[in-house]
Chains A and B, each alone.
Chain A
Amino acid sequence: MNVDDILLRAVDIEKSFSGVKVLKKVGLDIRRGEVHAVMGENGAGKSTLIKVLTGVYPRDEGKIFFNGASVTINSRQDAKDLGIAVIYQELSLIPTLTVAQNILLGQEICRAGILDNGAMKLAIRKLIETYGFSLNPDAIVETLSIAQRQTVEILKALSMQSSLIIMDEPTASLSVKESENLFQTIGALKKRGVSILYISHRLEEVYRLADRLTILRDGERIAVLSQGEINPRDVIRLMIGKELRQSEHAGRMRPSRPEVVLRVRNLSRRGVFSDISFDLHRGEVLGIGGLVGSGRSEILHCLFGSDRPDSGDILFEGKPIRGTVSRNIRSGFGLVPEDRRTQGFIPLLSMKRNIVLTNYDHLVGRRLFISGKSELAMCRDAIQRLDIRPANSEIHAGNLSGGNQQKVVVGKWLMRDLKMLLIDEPTAGIDVGVKEDIYALIGELAEKGVAVILVSSDLPELLRISHRILVMRKGRIFREFSEGSVSQEDVLKAASGIQDREIESNE
């Protein structure tokens, strides 16, 4: 690749908000057809940089060259005209429209003011075939999986003849397999000369994909590494400015305490999962792996009482539960759901009210009125224990960053006498620092005797914190890893249906 073949060069970009410098003389070079990663902790200036490049924010200082020519990008349209496309973390598709309508949204093909459906369909077919995706252009987006939606996003970018695609946390909500597909797509794009600016918190992805990596810290460019130099340990050190204990590549399963807290027998829900049986012990972290859609989250919902199983028994501390959510919560259950924004918290309410929401039985007891003081005390306690930032109990939960939102969701369960925590994709879209906090928290809880069920698509995470791992496939428990050392490959194989030894769930 020709080193001088620079597609986009940003020089000395400065940006400040009400006097606070968010970007300090940041530079960025993206070559034609390369995958260029940008990393940095939350607040390092990544998103601001992207927003400057795409015209959302005007820059204070600096220059941007595109294809060698100096350009001004003052609006999103400018960026679009140049061929810069962005794929956002929260997908920016219209759920009720079809794939075709979404791809061509804002650039519909018309004949005399009337949509030319034939031409549009043809264009989309061609596009889909060129890149070898499997998508039905007439499918309605809300019926697609997240991975498929992302494909639609990418197609949308490609349909605009974009030469630079910015991907912001694209794998945040993808399963392993889906991520794998995405990586292949990225490879294909690269071959066709499309440059990709890739932003992710997942080190291993960057390690695998990126041709070069720019690291930002506190609004400054700390380093630009080329492929050979990217090394997880160094990257983390550069990002946070200090050494972080590396998680082991493979997880070691640990024996659990004998005391069984939860006994699940032959649990089935039609069309979702069937014949699920397992035991959960006191102080144990039970990991559930498998592909998205293999029925993992649904099991959690059945255990928690928000869905009803069609058959099967759930025994909690020896007694059958078939109760409602509130009854389960009172007996010590907690759930951190998969989709924070739609299930986890209430965006319009303050952080305080979100945290206290599950705990009124403790806080109020039999009294009629809530004491504002004790509410505040509880919230302060949570803020302190979880290090939620900003430490303002009145801020709307919806205005917090993703990581802190997750802390709020976890925090509301910590404030009570928890016996069992069901936790679903706890670190999706969360940066490294907060991830560590959450891992530590789960460990701490297990230590205290809380039984934890962890559903995760993040293999290193699953391996690192689980004491025991069940791998689901097509709604059934496919394999259990309960002893010895387990590698990511083992789990992945199981999730994909390859087994070297069948293991019955014990008993």
Chain B
Amino acid sequence: MSKTMSARVLIQKFQRPLILLVLVVVLTLLQPDAFATVSNFKSIFLAISIYGVMVSGSIFTILLGGIDLAVGAVAALSGACTVLTIIAFNYSDIGVILGILAGLLAGCFVGLMHGVIISKFRVPAFLITVATMNIVYGAAELLTGNQTINIISPASFTFVGGGQLFGIPFPIYIVALMAFLSFIILNMTVFGRQVYATGGNPVAASLSGVPVFRTTCAAYIISGFTAAAAGIVLASMNQQAISKAAQGYENDVLTAIVVGGTSLMGGEGSIQGAIFGALLVGILNNGLRLMGVSSIYHTLVKGIIIIIAVSFDFYSRNRNSGLLRTGRLRLWMARQVAILMKEEKHQP
């Protein structure tokens, strides 16, 4: 029995890669020449890189049971800050460094504001971040004067979003780095543990000595930071700063995170899942384009495939976690009871 259980556990554990694999196989069969190529995968990763970077930070706020809808706005603001600073420093390399710092700082500042307001006044994060989204976009508009600011040089800046290293576009390194850092922080540091704990039960966490205020602030700052990083990559990739850049990216970010199995109630989810979500959407978009499906069908097909993938994912994961209430719950309870009884029998 334990052997079959572990096999099932194994399948469960690799549920999401399995879904991706199925999708990849299907698309490979449909597009044998185009889909399963190295360059295509580079394209897919590049396509998800901007919101992939955002996802790496945004997931902290979702795990806390909050939400950050201002990521797109922060990206626009930080892009503008960076580009304007570089121009102010006459396109010098020092300007690039200072510009990037300025952009990141702007993102962190917005994040700090979010964290302080949300945890000090215990107000719904949804409303606050929608409001700051307005404010930050407004700030970006003021900063750019609503003009498109082009920045074709210096090369050190355009490399960030447009360059290649060892044949791989640079943004892919950035998204990989961010996701990796996020993974490390979430899984291997005390702060990561505290994020999960606070999201799972803020009262219990605070009574266990978790500094809830600090954790919340840090999570929103991280979200602001990655949004700013994404904004800088975007500005560099497009070689311009626009006041309305990254509009609607918050939707992509949320979709990726939620499709990746992270609960909006907080406390449950993982960065691997979120990257899975981003990849799922990325591969779908790519596949639809490769098959030449007209763009008017994209949203429809994507909607349907997300329903299928997620319900499959939820179904097989929740089979054993009691989230399904009907017949499956009884099965699950039966199994739990059996395990409990066995454990007790084994006691001396």
Complex-state Cα separation, A369 to B192, whole angstroms: 10
Complex-state Cα separation, A306 to B212, whole angstroms: 12
Q: At the interface, yes or no: B123 with Cβ under 8 Å from chain A?
A: no
Complex-state Cα separation, A342 to B335, whole angstroms: 26
Q: Return the chain A residue nearest B187 by Cβ.
A: A370
A368/B267 in contact, CB under 8 A: no
If A353-B196, A370-B190 touch, whether A335 touches B204 (CB-CB below 8 Å) is: no
Q: Which of A285-301 contact B (CB under 8 A)?
A: none
A390/B340 in contact, CB under 8 A: yes
B2 proximity list for chain A (CB < 8 A): none
If A17-B333, A389-B344 touch, whether A329 touches B338 (CB-CB below 8 Å) is: no
B207/A335 in contact, CB under 8 A: yes
Residues of B within 8 A of A (CB): 184, 188-190, 193-194, 196-197, 200-201, 203-211, 267-268, 321-322, 330, 333-344, 347
B197/A353 in contact, CB under 8 A: yes
Interface of A is mostly: mixed
Contact check: which of A17, A20, A329, A369 meets B209 at CB < 8 Å?
A329
Q: At the interface, yes or no: A19 with Cβ under 8 Å from chain B?
A: yes
A412 proximity list for chain B (CB < 8 A): 208
Complex-state Cα separation, A353 to B184, whole angstroms: 16
B190/A360 in contact, CB under 8 A: yes
Q: Return the chain A residue nearest B263 by Cβ.
A: A348
Complex-state Cα separation, A396 to B268, whole angstroms: 11
A43/B207 in contact, CB under 8 A: no
Complex-state Cα separation, A49 to B201, whole angstroms: 32
B338/A342 in contact, CB under 8 A: no
A440 proximity list for chain B (CB < 8 A): none
B211 proximity list for chain A (CB < 8 A): 324, 326
Q: Which of A11-68 contact B (CB under 8 A)?
A: 17-20, 22, 43, 48, 57
B267 proximity list for chain A (CB < 8 A): 346, 348-349
Q: At the interface, yes or no: A364 with Cβ under 8 Å from chain B?
A: yes
Counting chain B CB atoms within 10 Å of each CB, the highest count among A304, A329, A343, A364 belongs to A343
Report the minimum CB–CB distance from A305 to chain B (whole Å).
9
Contact check: which of A325, A335, A348, A368 meets B200 at CB < 8 Å?
A348
Complex-state Cα separation, A249 to B335, whole angstroms: 41
Complex-state Cα separation, A412 to B341, whole angstroms: 25
Complex-state Cα separation, A181 to B341, whole angstroms: 37
Q: Return the chain B residue nearest A349 by Cβ.
A: B200
Q: Which of A382-405 contact B (CB under 8 A)?
A: 389-391, 396, 399, 401
Q: At the interface, yes or no: A358 with Cβ under 8 Å from chain B?
A: yes
Residues of A within 8 A of B (CB): 17-20, 22, 43, 48, 57, 304, 306, 324-326, 328-330, 335, 337, 342-349, 353, 356-358, 360, 364, 368-370, 389-391, 396, 399, 401, 412
Q: For the A-B complex with A43-B340, A345-B204, A396-B321 known, give 12 more contacts whose Cβ atoms are closer than 8 Å.
A: A17-B333, A17-B335, A18-B335, A48-B337, A343-B201, A346-B205, A347-B201, A348-B196, A357-B205, A369-B188, A399-B336, A412-B208
Complex-state Cα separation, A326 to B205, whole angstroms: 11
Complex-state Cα separation, A129 to B209, whole angstroms: 48
Report the minimum CB–CB distance from A321 to chain B (whole Å).
14
B207/A306 in contact, CB under 8 A: yes
A304/B207 in contact, CB under 8 A: yes
B206 proximity list for chain A (CB < 8 A): 306, 325
Complex-state Cα separation, A443 to B4, whole angstroms: 44
A324 proximity list for chain B (CB < 8 A): 211
Report the minimum CB–CB distance from A28 to chain B (whole Å).
20
B205/A17 in contact, CB under 8 A: no
A356 proximity list for chain B (CB < 8 A): 193
Report the minimum CB–CB distance from B42 to chain A (whole Å).
31
A342/B341 in contact, CB under 8 A: no
Complex-state Cα separation, A43 to B336, whole angstroms: 12
Complex-state Cα separation, A345 to B206, whole angstroms: 10
Report the minimum CB–CB distance from B259 to chain A (whole Å).
19
Report the minimum CB–CB distance from A489 to chain B (whole Å).
34
A19 proximity list for chain B (CB < 8 A): 338
A344 proximity list for chain B (CB < 8 A): 204, 207
A349/B196 in contact, CB under 8 A: yes
Complex-state Cα separation, A401 to B333, whole angstroms: 12
Contact check: which of B193, B209, B341 meets A353 at CB < 8 Å?
B193
B322/A399 in contact, CB under 8 A: yes
If A43-B344, A389-B347 touch, whether A357 touches B203 (CB-CB below 8 Å) is: no
B339/A326 in contact, CB under 8 A: no
Contact check: which of A22, A348, A391 meets B341 at CB < 8 Å?
A22
Contact check: which of A358, A370, A390 meets B208 at CB < 8 Å?
A358
Q: Return the chain B residue nearest A48 by Cβ.
A: B337
Q: Return the chain B residue nearest A409 by Cβ.
A: B204
A20/B338 in contact, CB under 8 A: yes
Contact check: which of B193, B333, B341, B342 meets A357 at CB < 8 Å?
B193
Q: Return the chain A residue nearest B335 by Cβ.
A: A18
A369 proximity list for chain B (CB < 8 A): 184, 188-189
- Can you identify 9 A-B contacts, CB atoms within 8 angstroms? A337-B207, A342-B204, A346-B201, A347-B200, A353-B197, A357-B193, A357-B208, A360-B190, A390-B340
Complex-state Cα separation, A399 to B221, whole angstroms: 33
B201/A345 in contact, CB under 8 A: yes
6 closest Cβ pairs, A-B complex: A17-B334, A346-B200, A329-B209, A326-B209, A360-B190, A390-B343
A391/B343 in contact, CB under 8 A: yes
Q: Return the chain B residue nearest A369 by Cβ.
A: B188
A18/B210 in contact, CB under 8 A: no
Q: Return the chain B residue nearest A328 by Cβ.
A: B209
B203 proximity list for chain A (CB < 8 A): 342-343
Complex-state Cα separation, A17 to B200, whole angstroms: 31
B341 proximity list for chain A (CB < 8 A): 20, 22, 43
A358/B209 in contact, CB under 8 A: yes
Q: Return the chain B residue nearest A330 by Cβ.
A: B209
Complex-state Cα separation, A369 to B210, whole angstroms: 17
B197/A357 in contact, CB under 8 A: yes
B322 proximity list for chain A (CB < 8 A): 399
Complex-state Cα separation, A328 to B206, whole angstroms: 12
Complex-state Cα separation, A328 to B204, whole angstroms: 15
Q: Return the chain B residue nearest A16 by Cβ.
A: B334
Complex-state Cα separation, A112 to B306, whole angstroms: 43
Report the minimum CB–CB distance from A430 to chain B (whole Å).
16
Complex-state Cα separation, A425 to B262, whole angstroms: 34
Complex-state Cα separation, A342 to B203, whole angstroms: 7
B337/A20 in contact, CB under 8 A: yes
Report the minimum CB–CB distance from B48 to chain A (whole Å).
28
A358 proximity list for chain B (CB < 8 A): 208-209
Counting chain A CB atoms within 10 Å of each CB, the highest count among B193, B194, B322, B342 belongs to B193
Q: Return the chain B residue nearest A391 by Cβ.
A: B343
Complex-state Cα separation, A358 to B336, whole angstroms: 28
Complex-state Cα separation, A370 to B194, whole angstroms: 12
B204/A346 in contact, CB under 8 A: yes
Complex-state Cα separation, A446 to B222, whole angstroms: 44
Complex-state Cα separation, A48 to B330, whole angstroms: 12
Complex-state Cα separation, A370 to B193, whole angstroms: 10
Report the minimum CB–CB distance from A250 to chain B (whole Å).
34
Report the minimum CB–CB distance from A158 to chain B (whole Å).
28
Complex-state Cα separation, A22 to B205, whole angstroms: 36
Q: Return the chain B residue nearest A344 by Cβ.
A: B204
Counting chain B CB atoms within 10 Å of each CB, the highest count among A353, A360, A396 belongs to A360
